[in-house]
Amino acid sequence: MSLATRTAPGTRPDTATRNRRPRTAGSITWHLGALVVLAVLLYPVVWVIGGSFKPNDEIVGSLNLLPADPVTENYRRLADGIADIPISTFFGNSLFLAVGSVIGVVLSSSLAAYAFAKIGFAGRGLLFTLMIGTLLLPYHVLLIPQYVLFQKLELINTYTPLLLGKYLATDAFFVFLMLQFMRGLPKELDEAARLDGCGHLRTYWSIVLPLCRPALITSAIFTFINAWNDFMGPLIYLNEPEKYTVSLGLKMFVDQDGVANYGGMIAMSLVALLPVIAFFLAFQRYLIDGMATSGLKG
Amino acid sequence: MDTAVTPAPTPAPVTRPAGEAAPAGSPPGGGHPRGRTPTGRARRENLAGYLFMSPWIAGFLLLTAGPMVASLYFAFTDYNLFDAPRWIGLDNFTEMFGDPRWRTSVEVTGWYVVIGTPLKLAAALGVALLLNQSRRGQGFYRAAFYAPSLIGASVSIAIVWRAIFSDGAAVDRGQQLLGMDAGGWIGDPDRIIYALVALTVWQFGAPMVIFLAGLKQVPRELYEAAQVDGASPWRRFWHITLPMISPVLFFNVLLETIHSFQIFGSAYIIGSQGNACGPADGTLVYTCYLYIQGFENSRMGLASAMAWMLLLAVGLVTAVLFWSQRRWVHYEEGAR
């Protein structure tokens, strides 16, 4: 594998030569390498698409990625639901939780980020340290005591335990992401706002939030995807199948000893991925930049 | 370049408008007439600060700090959620250390972290180096390679993984072609963990994106100077690239290691055969056993003790990483 800037021996390594250098051989190798990686990464995705159109007995036995004779029975059988619960219930529940989470995270995290970035209050340093500490804290330490708390409050089998934290800015990653963005905004803006008599609330709502749109969008999409994919939270807190999310619906398939309706399970797995894939296709730039920022400024 | 989220490089010091003095120590709005009385202004700032912080503070006390204290207490009690916790001293810990299933879960998690994390980061760095060349299609590949990170933790992909790695499926047949002993990894308690490792490596896109961002910041002049001196590509990688991206490498190692310790959903589903994390505890990762003890066996005290051991382990690894960074992480002058 050649490294970033390899030049033929003896060539004067100046920028112009590097860009003009004939590089067909290198280019072909490069694309070949990239395509091999792509093929390996895409295999499971193509497999699930192909599998969802295969009859039950062909899914595991056959090595062909695409069905010999595509059938739609898996999708038609999905319409029957799982254990008498229509699939749409699971999707509705997941959608409700995901959208509810997005609203909570965007509001509460941006408030905290604004305070850290723009308000010089006493104790800011201490709170900031605590927040960074929670960034590294394994969630599982809180699992048992949080469950005990919600059990005492009689909130088991409701969505409150799954949503409350989102409205209380407990995911420090998003506070941090927004904070980094706000720090990059020009200072003159909020100084001008202050001279015009804007309080912090006005400055936050009318000036900083609109300017932070990219960071808000990144946080919103990550939150949606995390909530959509979440498995442990719903597994612990929900115990009535009518309240189950898509993840738990899929788990019901797995538990049912999937052989009988293997195709249905594969079809639902694919459908469950679609919202995430759609978000990715629409907003990949925001997601990748958000990821990159977290590493550079971390 | 992609600066949609990346904060602009620190703006040059703002030249203040003429007539407005720049009072040292009170940056924003310092010259404003209303801000003349420091105590009044400071009080307003404090009030505003704590109002804005109130959701976070409530969340921190109610959902983080409080539960941590409670958890520490539960760890020394026998607690089944319905009867009051009963203080039993260190019994939970002695039971835990003597439990062969607990030791299995430590082993499984250890293997997963020790094999999975380096492989994932090596893949991420290798592909990032490949993608760092400016060629057509670079942006497409970057996006496509990143995508698995978004769906990899889902139940859907865990189900797909079960199928691909089961007896007679693609991976098994591939092994047969290579003349290796076959039989699928999913049914084999010793090999199922490697299906889980493959799943984490499949998600190398997230650290790759971070590596790429770091690689973009390495000044071209360094490579050009090294080439004049006749340094080989390997030497350039070892002496320029690696030191220059070491802060990003450190960040990735830290984050991925901490994440690996916490794997749950995929392990639960991949190994699930009527019971969580089977077969024969092949994917009984630590959090899976914690879940079983806490929520299937209602051993809240024991599970809390287990959680604290996990925190201790993660804390220890984090401390070692931070301690070691003095030796191998190079921060640019003034970059921090």
Domains of chain B, with CATH numbers?
A: 37-74 (no CATH), 93-328 (1.10.3720.10)
Provide the pLDDT for residue A12.
Answer: 41
Residue B8: what pLDDT?
36
C-beta of residue B52 within 8 angstroms of C-beta of residue A114: yes
> Who wins on pLDDT, B319 or A19?
B319
The answer to whether residue A217 sits within a structural domain is yes
Q: Residue A126: pLDDT above 70? A: yes
Residue B38 confidence (pLDDT): 58
**What pLDDT is stored for residue B92 in this prediction?**
96
Compute the distance between CA of residue A286 and CA of residue A221 in angstroms, rounded to an integer: 9
E strand or H helix at B242, and its extent? helix B242-244
What is the number of residues in chain B? 336
| Confidence check: pLDDT of A116 > 50 | yes
For residue B336, pLDDT beyond 60 = no
Chain B partners of A122 at a C-beta cutoff of 8 Å? 42, 46, 49
Q: Count of CB contacts below 8 A, A vs B?
A: 352
Q: How far is B13 from chain A (nearest CA, A)?
A: 10
Average pLDDT, integer, range A267-280: 93
Number of structural domains, chain A? 1
C-alpha dihedral (B233, B235, B236, B242), degrees to nearest 10: 120
Please say if the pLDDT value at position A273 is more than 90.
yes
Chain-wide mean pLDDT for chain B?
84
| pLDDT beyond 70 at A59 | yes
Q: Is the pLDDT of residue B276 over 80?
A: no
Banded model confidence at residue A61, pLDDT cuts 50, 70, 90: low
CB contact under 8 A, B52 and A111: yes
**C-alpha closest to that of B146 among A227, A50, A286, A181:** A286
Query: Tens digit of pLDDT for each residue in B203-260?
Result: 999 999 999 999 988 888 888 888 888 888 888 899 889 999 999 999 999 999 999 9
Distance from CA of A250 to the nearest CA of B (A): 7
- Give the pLDDT score at A17: 43
CB B126 within 8 A of CB B335: no
Residue A259 confidence (pLDDT): 58
**Do the domain assignments include residue A200?**
yes
Under 8 Å CB-to-CB from B105, ≥6 apart: which residues? B281, B284, B285, B286, B288, B289
User: Token pair 């973009």 is at which residue?
Assistant: B216
A115 touches chain B (CB under 8 A): yes
| Residue A274 Cα to chain centre, angstroms | 13
- The answer on pLDDT for A15 being more than 60 is no
pLDDT at A22 over 90: no
Best B56, B72, B258, B314 residue to mutate vs chain A (most A CBs within 10 Å): B56
For B314, the closest chain A residue by CA position comes to A138
User: How would DSSP label each residue in B136-198?
Assistant: TTHHHHHHHHHHHHHHTTSHHHHHHHHHHTSTTSHHHHHHHHTT---S-STT-TTTHHHHHHH
Across A234-242, average pLDDT: 95
Q: What is the DSSP letter of B282?
A: T
Task: Enter the pTM of the model.
Answer: 0.85
**Between the CA of residue A235 and those of A156, B64, B202, B264, B290, what are the distances in Å?**
11, 20, 25, 11, 14
Of B2, B133, B155, the CB nearest to A247: B155
Of A26-40, A194-208, B34-48, B134-148, the poorest mean pLDDT is in B34-48
CB contact under 8 Å between B28 and A273, yes or no, is no
Of the candidates B53, B269, B307, which has its C-beta nearest A144's C-beta? B307
Instruction: Tell me the CB-side half-sphere exposure of residue A159, using CA atoms within 13 A.
Output: 19
Between B159 and A296, where is the model more confident?
Answer: B159
In the prediction, which pLDDT does A265 show? 87
Which CATH number covers residue A196? Answer: 1.10.3720.10
Closest-CA residue of A relative to B3 is A289
Helix axes B246-261, B117-131, angle to 10 degrees: 140
Distance from CA of B188 to the nearest CA of A (A): 17
Separation of alpha carbons B273 and B292, rounded Å: 14
- Chain B residues whose beta carbon lies within 8 Å of the beta carbon of residue A101: none
pLDDT for B334 beyond 80? no
Question: Which residue of A lies nearest to B200 if distances are taken between CA atoms?
Answer: A41
CA B122 to chain A, closest CA, distance in angstroms equals 14
CB pair distance less than 8 Å for A250 and B261: no
Q: Which residues of A61-91 are buried (b: 16+ CB within 10 A; e: fewer)?
A: ebeeeebeeebeebbebbeeebeeeebebbb
- Determine the Cα–Cα distance for residues B122 and B197; give it in Å rounded to an integer: 13
How many CA atoms, within 13 angstroms, populate the side-chain half-sphere of residue A232? Answer: 22
Q: CA-to-CA distance for B189 and A293, rounded, in angstroms? A: 40
User: Does a structural domain hold residue A173?
Assistant: yes
Report the C-alpha gap between B267 and B272 in whole angstroms: 8
B190-225 burial, b at 16+ Cβ within 10 Å, e below that, comes to: eebbbbbbbbbbbbbbbbbbbbbbbbeebeeeebbe
Mean pLDDT of all residues belonging to chain A = 85
Residues of B in contact with A141 (CB under 8 A): 67-68, 71, 307-308, 310-311
All residues of chain A having their beta carbon less than 8 Å from the beta carbon of residue B154 are 228-229, 231, 247, 272-273, 276
For residue B99 the two structure tokens come to 């439990």
Phi, psi of B165 (to 5 degrees): -95, 10
Please give the Cα distance from A73 to B131 (Å, whole number).
Answer: 41
CA distance B78 to chain A (A): 13
Q: Which residue has the tokens 């290796």?
A: B180
Tell me if A135 is assigned to some domain. yes
Question: Where residue B163 falls among pLDDT bands split at 50, 70, 90?
Answer: confident
Q: Are B108 and B284 in contact (CB under 8 A)?
A: yes
Res B283: pLDDT:
87
Asked, for residue A43, whether it belongs to a domain, the answer is no
Amino acid B254: pLDDT: 93
Identify the top-confidence range among A33-47, A82-96, A127-141, B86-100: B86-100
- Calculate mean pLDDT across residues B36-57: 86
Mean predicted confidence (pLDDT) in A82-110: 94
Residue A251 lies in a domain: yes
How far apart are alpha carbons B95 and B11 in whole angstroms? Answer: 58
Domain that holds residue A232: 92-260+290-297
Query: Would residue A123 count as lying in a domain?
Result: yes
Q: Examine the pLDDT at B17 and tell me if it is beyond 90.
A: no
The length of chain A in residues reads 298
**Whose structure tokens read 């640019």?**
B332
CA distance A238 to A199: 43
- What percent of chain B clears pLDDT 90, i.e. is strictly above it? 57
Contact of A129 with chain B, judged by CB distance below 8 Å, is answered with no
Residue A32, domain member (yes or no): no
| Residue of higher predicted confidence among A96 and B26 | A96
Percent of chain A with pLDDT over 90: 52
| ipTM > 0.90 for the complex | no
